[in-house]
Amino acid sequence: MSTHAVVRDDDYVIDQNWPGYTADEHAVWDFLYRRQRDILADRADEALLAGHEALNLNRGGIPNFAEINKELKARTGFTVVAVPGLVPDEVFFNHLANRRFPAGQFIR
Sign (positive or negative) of CA dihedral 64, 35, 72, 4: negative
* Dist CA 21 CA 92 (whole Å): 24
Using only the alpha carbons of the chain, give its radius of gyration.
14
Q: How large is the greatest C-alpha to C-alpha distance in the chain, in angstroms?
A: 42
Q: Amino acid identity of 103?
A: A
pLDDT score recorded for residue 57: 87
pLDDT score recorded for residue 2: 46
* Dist CA 81 CA 69 (whole Å): 9
Cβ–Cβ < 8 Å for 44, 52: no
> How do the domains of the chain map onto residue ranges?
18-104
Per-residue confidence in pLDDT tens, the chain, 108 aa:
544 455 556 899 999 999 999 999 999 999 999 999 999 999 999 999 999 899 988 889 999 999 999 999 999 999 999 999 999 999 999 999 999 999 998 876
